[in-house]
Amino acid sequence: MKRFIIGTAGHIDHGKTTLVRAMTGIDTDRLKEEKKRGISIELGFAPFTLPSGQKAAIVDMPGHERFIRHMLAGAFGIDIVLLTIAADEGVMPQTREHMDIIELLGVNKGIVVITKKDLVDEEWLMLMEEEVQEYIDTTILKDAAVIAVSAVTREGIPELMALIEKLASEVEEKPVWGQARLPIDRVFTVSGFGTVVTGTLWSGQLRIGDILELMPVQKPVRVRTIQVHNEKVDTAYAGQRVAVNLQGVELADIKRGYLLATAGYLSPSYRVDARLHLLSSSKRTLKNWNRVRFHLGTDETLGRVVLLDRDELQAGDEAYAQIVMEKPVVACKGDRFVIRYYSPVNTIGGGIIIDGNAPKQKRFREDVLDELVIKEEGSLYDVVLHELESHPEEFISVSELSKRTGSGQEQIKQELQQLVDDEKIIKIKDQVYISTYGVQVINARIVETLAQYHRQYPMRSGYPREDMRSRFFKQLNPKDFNLIIKQLEEQGSLSSRHNQLMLPQHMPQPGGRDRETIAQITKIMEEQMFTPPGLEELMAVSGRSEQEFGEIMAYMIDAGILVKINQDTVFSNQAIEEGKKRLLAYFEQEPELSLATARDILNTTRKYALPLIEYYDRIRFTHRVGDIRVKI
C-alpha cells in the first residue's frame, strides 16, 4: 500500500477537527484546554482508512493565528492538504496564511473542502464556491478539486473520501532508501515503556534495535519498539506517521524540534545557505540582517538573514541568502523552510536549503554566488565534482558526500563512477575519492617545495616525507599521504627513497668548494682507515662552519663515501669493505673471532674495533655468541 500523510489547513473554527472526526471517528482535540475552548491548540493525529482499505494518517493543524508555529510543525512532511473554508465565512486571514505556508512547502496536491454546508442556503453556497475558486486559482492548488461537505449531516463526506483515494494514487512516495530522518513533534512517556516520540518519517527506514542519533544534541539512542497506525511493527518506512519508544534518553532530554537520524549522517550548524523567497503578499521588505523566525520540520529558531547579493529583498522577489541561527539547526540540501518576522509575528517567506552546513559567506562576492548556483542548479554529477574540487586537498568518502549533497549513497556511487571514467576524480581507496584537480594542487605544492629545497640544499638527496606531510598536509594522516605520494610517483611527478621525496632525476650536487672539502675529508679518512679522526677534529681540519660541515657529512654518508657507525664515529666506506675482507680471510681459517683478535687484524685499538665489530653485527656480517663472533 502507498504511504502518505494528509494534513488539514485553514482558519480557526472552519471545521477541520470536526471534518477529521467525520472521516475517522477520532477526535484529535486531546487537551483539556482544547475541549474547554472548542479550538485546536496543539497538533492532532488520527489514523485513517479509506474505503479501499488504503491506510494513511491525518495531521490536524490548529487554525488560530497564535498557534501558527504549531501548524508549521505539522505541515512539514504532508503529501496532501485538505484546505478547509467554512461556507458561512469564506476566505479568512489564516486561510491565506496557511495557504502561503502550504505553497512555500511545495505541497501541490490537495482538496479544497468547503465545510459547514448545512449552515447556508444553496444560493449562498454557490456564491461561496465562486469566491473560493477565484482565490484558489491564484495559489499552488489552482487545479485542486473543490467540494462542499457537512460533517454534521455527512453530506459530501463519501465523495470527499473518493477524491482523497484518487489523489492518493498520484502521490510520489518519500524515499525509503538511504538515511532516516524523523522530525519529532510529540514527546511523552508510557508507563512501563519510557520515552516515546512521534513524527512523520521523512526518509529511510526505522527498525527495532536501530541505533539512531538524537539531533542537534548528537546523543545516541536505541529504538525499542515502533508503532504505525497504532499497530506494532518491526519496520517503519518514509511517509508514515511513526511512534518510537526510545531507550537511552529521558523525557527531560528531548523536545519537539529535535530530530532522529541515522547516526553520523547529519551535523548541527549555525549557518545555512538558501534560496529565499519573500511572499508577494508581504507588507514589508526584508533587509539584510533582519531577525526572523526560522521553521524547518518541527523545529523553530531565531536567526538573522544575510542577503548575499543585495541590501533589501522586495515582496515577491527571491535571492541567495545565508541564515545565521541563534541555536544550531539540522538541515539537508533540498529541505524547504519557512520564515516569519520576529515581531510582529507573521509568515513572510521561505525557501529551499542549498547547504545545510555552510561556512560563513561574504556578501557581494561573485565566487560565492557562482558556487551557490552550482550547488542549487547543477546536476548531481556537477555538485559532487564541485564538492570534491572545493576541498582539493581532502579525501572525501561516499558517506560524507551523501551527507553534504543530501543525496543517497547509491546515487552518489553512480556519479562517482562516471566521474572516475571521465578522469575528473581519482578513487584513492575503497569508497574514498579526491578530485584530479586536487591531486594537481597537491602535486604543484610538493614540486614547488622540492625544487626550492633542492636549490637551497643541493647536497641533500631529498625532503623528509613526514616533514612534508606535517608541514603542508596535516589534514592527511601518514597512510593517506602515502597514497597520494604513490599516485604522484606513478604519474612521474616525483620520486621517493628512504622516506625522502625528491624530483625525478635529482642527484645531489656539491659545489666547487664543497667538492674540495669532500676530497680533503676522504683523503684523511682513507689514510687513517681504522683509526679515523672524530667529527669535531674533521670539522676543525675542514675549516667549515658547523652548518656547512653538517651538510657535507650528510652528503658523504648518503652518497656512501662515509659510513656512520654510531653517534660520534664514522669510517670510510673503504675501511668498512677492507675490514670485511680481512675478517673474511680470518674466518676461512678459524670459526670464532674474539674482539682482541679483531683489533689485531685491523691494526687498531679497542676504541675503534668495538664499534666497528658491533656495526658488522648489525648488518649481519657477523653474529655475537657470548664474547665471540662467528661468520653468518
Write out pLDDT tens, residues 341-350.
Answer: 998 889 999 9
| pLDDT given for residue 35 in this prediction | 44
In a domain, 173, yes or no: no
Closest CA to 56 of 241, 244, 243: 241
- Point out the domain boundary residue: 314, 345, 368: 368
Q: How far is CA 573 from CA 51, 335, 417, 587, in A?
A: 96, 71, 53, 21
Closest CA to 212 of 181, 255, 185: 181
| CA 586/CA 584 separation, integer angstroms | 5
Spell out a b/e string for 169-181, using b for 16 or more CB atoms within 10 Å of the CB, else e: eebeebbbebbbb
Rounded to 5 degrees, φ, ψ at 288 are -55, 135
Residue 216 in 3-state DSSP? coil
Which cell numbers hold the place of 232?
506494532
- Point out the domain boundary residue: 368, 403, 424: 368
In a domain, 157, yes or no: yes
In a domain, 373, yes or no: no
Q: What is the CATH number of the domain that holds 281?
A: 2.40.30.10
* Strands of the sheet with 110-115, listed across from one edge: 44-49, 55-60, 5-10, 80-86, 110-115, 145-148
| pLDDT given for residue 230 in this prediction | 86
Q: What angle do CA 475, 481, 485 make, to 5 degrees?
A: 145
Pair 452, 564 in one domain: no
Pair 526, 393 in one domain: no
Condensed to tens digits (0 to 9), the pLDDT of residues 185-242 reads 999 998 888 999 999 999 999 999 999 999 999 999 999 999 998 899 999 999 999 9
| pLDDT given for residue 546 in this prediction | 94
Condensed to tens digits (0 to 9), the pLDDT of residues 113-150 reads 999 999 999 999 999 999 999 999 999 999 999 999 99
Split at pLDDT 50, 70, 90, the class of 369 is very high
In which domain, by residue range, is 431 found? Answer: 378-509
pLDDT exceeds cutoff 90 at 444 = yes
Which whole number is the average pLDDT over 74-94? 94
Q: What is the CATH number of the domain that holds 126?
A: 3.40.50.300
Lookup result for grid cell 508507563? 191
Q: How far is CA 178 from CA 226, 267, 461, in A?
A: 19, 16, 51
Condensed to tens digits (0 to 9), the pLDDT of residues 312-356 reads 999 999 999 999 999 999 999 899 999 999 988 899 999 999 999
| pLDDT given for residue 408 in this prediction | 80
| pLDDT given for residue 204 in this prediction | 93
Pair 9, 154 in one domain: yes
| pLDDT given for residue 64 in this prediction | 53
Higher pLDDT, 112 or 68: 112
Condensed to tens digits (0 to 9), the pLDDT of residues 524-563 reads 999 999 999 999 999 999 999 999 999 999 999 989 999 9
Q: Is residue 183 reached through a cis peptide bond, with omega within 30 degrees of 0 on the bond before it?
A: no
Pair 407, 340 in one domain: no
Pair 87, 156 in one domain: yes
In a domain, 553, yes or no: yes
Higher pLDDT, 301 or 68: 301
| CA 131/CA 142 separation, integer angstroms | 13
Pair 194, 307 in one domain: no
Pair 257, 274 in one domain: no
Greatest Cα-to-Cα distance within the chain, rounded to the nearest angstrom: 130
| pLDDT given for residue 500 in this prediction | 95
Q: Decide: pTM greater than 0.85.
A: no
pLDDT exceeds cutoff 70 at 512 = yes
Instruction: Give the percent of the chain with pLDDT over 90.
Output: 87
In a domain, 176, yes or no: no
Pair 60, 130 in one domain: yes
Condensed to tens digits (0 to 9), the pLDDT of residues 25-60 reads 988 755 445 344 444 445 889 999 999 999 999 998
Domain count, the chain: 5
Pair 136, 193 in one domain: no
Split at pLDDT 50, 70, 90, the class of 448 is very high
Closest CA to 632 of 580, 596, 579: 580
User: For residue 192, what are the contacts with CB-CB under 8 A and spacing of at least 6?
Assistant: none
| pLDDT given for residue 37 in this prediction | 43
The average confidence (pLDDT) of the chain is 93
| pLDDT given for residue 63 in this prediction | 56
Pair 155, 213 in one domain: no
| CA 45/CA 352 separation, integer angstroms | 27
- Beta strands 286-287 and 312-313, pairing class: antiparallel
Pair 54, 118 in one domain: yes
- Point out the domain boundary residue: 335, 368, 401: 368
| pLDDT given for residue 39 in this prediction | 41
Which whole number is the average pLDDT over 12-30? 88
In a domain, 504, yes or no: yes
pLDDT exceeds cutoff 80 at 65 = no
Which whole number is the average pLDDT over 101-121? 96
| pLDDT given for residue 219 in this prediction | 96
Rounded to 5 degrees, φ, ψ at 242 are -130, 140
In a domain, 293, yes or no: yes
Pair 21, 84 in one domain: yes
In a domain, 155, yes or no: yes
Rounded to 5 degrees, φ, ψ at 549 are -65, -40
